[in-house]
Amino acid sequence: MSSRERRPRSLREVVFVDGVRTPFGKAGPKGVYAETRADDLVVRCIRELLRRNPSLPPERVDEVAIAATTQNGDQGLTIGRTAALLAGLPTSVPGYAVDRMCAGAMTAVTTTASGIAFGAYDVAIAGGVEHMGHHPMGEGADPNPRFSSEKLVDGSALVMGSTAENLHDRFPHLTKERADVFALASQQKYAKAVANGQIGPELVPVAIRSAEAGWGLATVDEPPRPNTTLDGLATLKTPFRPHGHVTAGNAAGLNDGATGCLLAAEEVAEELGLPVGMRLVGYGFAGVEPEVMGVGPVPSTVKALERTGLSIDDIGLFELNEAFAVQVLAFLDHFGIADDDERVNPWGGAIAVGHPLASSGVRLMTQLTRQFAERPDVRYGLTAMCIGLGMGGTVIWENPNWSGARTEEASA
């Protein structure tokens, strides 16, 4: 064994084994996680993934990539590494921190998945966290003055709500009423999915402490407003613009929460007896003008479709992050999909459940994998989200439970 030929390069299939998340909370002093650390939320997710997949020896995890938009305090110190250590993973397991704002966890997945495909990892944990109560958006940011002096971006580009208002300007037919209708449906679909037990199994209960009230346990999402009505939505203030369109009702709130998922090379999943929730088909990220960042998922989806050779018609399920209703509507409008198409966010979205920035990407995936399990009629699904400073991210997945293979062959 003194010298060997370099192993020939081969690409491997990557599978999404399992995903979990903490219940999402409302940011702020009254939220369930007001006195709970962000890194502890991540630790809960990592430990739960290991518990749910006991056939995975912890030392086989090759990477822990955890995203956070603000990387200081309880989200600092290279949170992928700190969370791995705090979760009790062996010291031999490395970790790192990821930031691509709202698409942090999504990027953690695509990056580690690429490492798996390339052969650098067998198994990886990817996830994200945002404790927006501890870390208000933009905390500590120091934008370069050239952004404004050279008019590189419009001043509104750094205020996400304003970028959503800008989308309404660009697409005047995407009215506030359409946004409110979409928002109401999100609340209703979410409530139904909870009642059906479709949302719930992926949640990791979290012990929450309050110095005043003692220990508690977070088991359900805090943000949803099941009693939302169209009339009620119509009366909400438009904080980003007088007589504007964007309200607290047709946008995701400010939230705390963490997500995590287990990714593996398909052959390694088989070796270790890990379940295959879905198979990664491809992904794409793309940039747009920062002041209309909400439209980002359109070019990223076009890119992902082109690179995978699929068309939008091949996609049977869409999990789109509802940072703002208008931004989802812009996506659907572009691809000619109806506002209420039942393939889209069938269990509701971030408008109901919340959007703890960097964590949300894995929530979309976890939700998609659970839908795949009950939808063998669907072959491909897509997770996509808009990203601050004008970006979009799209990941396309294949359903391993798809039963259409035979049918297709038969009809061919």
Partner 1 sequence: MSAGFEDEVVTRALVRYLTVPGIAGEFALITLDNGHDHTRPSTFGPAGLASLDTALDEIAARSPAPAAIAVTGKPFVFAVGADLSGVPSITSATDARQIAETGHRVFRRLKDSPVPTFAFVNGVALGGGLELALHCHHRTIATTAAVAFPEVFLGLVPGWGGTQLLPNLVGIDAAVTVIVENALAQNKVTSASRAARTGIADALFEPADFLERSLEWAAGVLTGDVAVTRPEVDRGAWDDAIARARAVVAGRTRNASPGALRAVELLDLARNGVGEEAFSAGTAAEDDALTDLLMSDELRASLYSFDLVNKRAKRPAGAPDRKLARKVTKVGVVGAGLMASQLALLLVRRLEVPVVLTDVDQARVDKGVGYVHGELDELAARGRLSPDALNRLRGLVTGSLSTDVFVDADLVIEAVFEELSVKQQVFAEVEAVVSAECVLATNTSALSVTAMAAKLEHPERVVGLHFFNPVAVLPLLEVVRAEQTDDATLATAFAVGTALRKSCVLVADAPAFVVNRLLTRFLGVVTAAVDAGTPVAVAERALEPLGLPMTPFELLSLVGPPVALHVAERMHEAFPDRFVVGEGLRRMVELGKASVFSEPGVVDSDLAGIDAGDSPLTEEQLRADAEQALAEEIGLMLDEGVVQAVQDIDLCMVLGAGWPFWLGGISAYLDRAGVSEAVTGRRFLPRGVASLPA
Q: Which residues are catalytic?
A: 102, 355, 386
75 versus 156: smaller Cβ distance to partner 1: 75
DSSP single-letter state for residue 295:
G
Which has the closest alpha carbon to 362: 41, 26, 76, 72?
Answer: 41
Residue 192 burial (10 A CB sphere; 0-12, 13-18, 19+): middle
Report the alpha-carbon distance of residue 150 to residue 144 in Å, rounded: 10
Residue 195 interacting with partner 1 (CB under 8 A): no
155 versus 205: smaller Cβ distance to partner 1: 205
Q: What are phi and psi of 78, to 5 degrees?
A: 55, 75
User: In this chain, which stretch among 175-183, 216-224, 289-297, 310-318 interacts with partner 1, using CB under 8 A?
Assistant: 216-224
User: In this chain, which stretch among 203-211, 299-307, 329-337, 366-374 interacts with partner 1, using CB under 8 A?
Assistant: 203-211
Residue 205 interacting with partner 1 (CB under 8 A): yes
Residue 201 neighbours by CB distance under 10 Å: 10
Residue 219 interacting with partner 1 (CB under 8 A): yes
197 token code pair: 């037990």
User: In this chain, which stretch among 8-16, 205-213, 234-242, 281-289 interacts with partner 1, using CB under 8 A?
Assistant: 205-213
> Measured on CA atoms in the order 218, 220, 221, 223, is the torsion positive or negative?
negative
Q: How many residues bind partner 1 (CB under 8 A)?
A: 20
Interface with partner 1 in residues 249-288 (CB under 8 A)? none
DSSP single-letter state for residue 324:
B
- Tell the smallest beta-carbon distance from residue 65 to partner 1 (Å): 20
Residue 105 interacting with partner 1 (CB under 8 A): no
Q: Which residues contact 72 (CB under 8 A, 6 or more apart)?
A: 135, 139, 140
Q: Choose, by CB under 8 A, the member of 11, 77, 207, 338 that binds partner 1.
A: 207
Contact 385, 102 (CB under 8 A): yes
46 versus 233: smaller Cβ distance to partner 1: 46
Q: Which residues contact 15 (CB under 8 A, 6 or more apart)?
A: 263, 264, 265, 266, 269, 276, 277, 278, 279, 280, 400
Tokens 């390069």 sit on residue? 9
Encoded one letter per residue, x for contact with partner 1 by CB under 8 A and - for no contact, window 41-70 reads --xx--x-----------------------
Q: Which residues contact 107 (CB under 8 A, 6 or more apart)?
A: 67, 98, 100, 285, 361, 393
User: In this chain, which stretch among 61-69, 212-220, 221-229, 368-376 interacts with partner 1, using CB under 8 A?
Assistant: 212-220
Q: Choose, by CB under 8 A, the member of 6, 172, 173, 211 that binds partner 1.
A: 211
Q: Which amino acid is at 201?
A: P
Residue 140 burial (10 A CB sphere; 0-12, 13-18, 19+): exposed
Residue 226 interacting with partner 1 (CB under 8 A): no
Q: Choose, by CB under 8 A, the member of 195, 217, 230, 234 that binds partner 1.
A: 217
Q: Choose, by CB under 8 A, the member of 2, 7, 145, 215 that binds partner 1.
A: 215
- Give the 3-state secondary structure of residue 393: strand
User: In this chain, which stretch among 167-175, 207-215, 320-328, 385-393 interacts with partner 1, using CB under 8 A?
Assistant: 207-215
Q: What are phi and psi of 365, to 5 degrees?
A: -70, -40
Q: Choose, by CB under 8 A, the member of 212, 231, 342, 409 that binds partner 1.
A: 212
Q: Choose, by CB under 8 A, the member of 143, 155, 216, 232 that binds partner 1.
A: 216
103 versus 206: smaller Cβ distance to partner 1: 206
Encoded one letter per residue, x for contact with partner 1 by CB under 8 A and - for no contact, window 65-104 reads ---------------------xxx----------------
- Residue 132 belongs to what H/E stretch? none
Residues engaged in binding partner 1 (CB under 8 A): 43-44, 47, 86-88, 204-207, 209, 211-217, 219-220
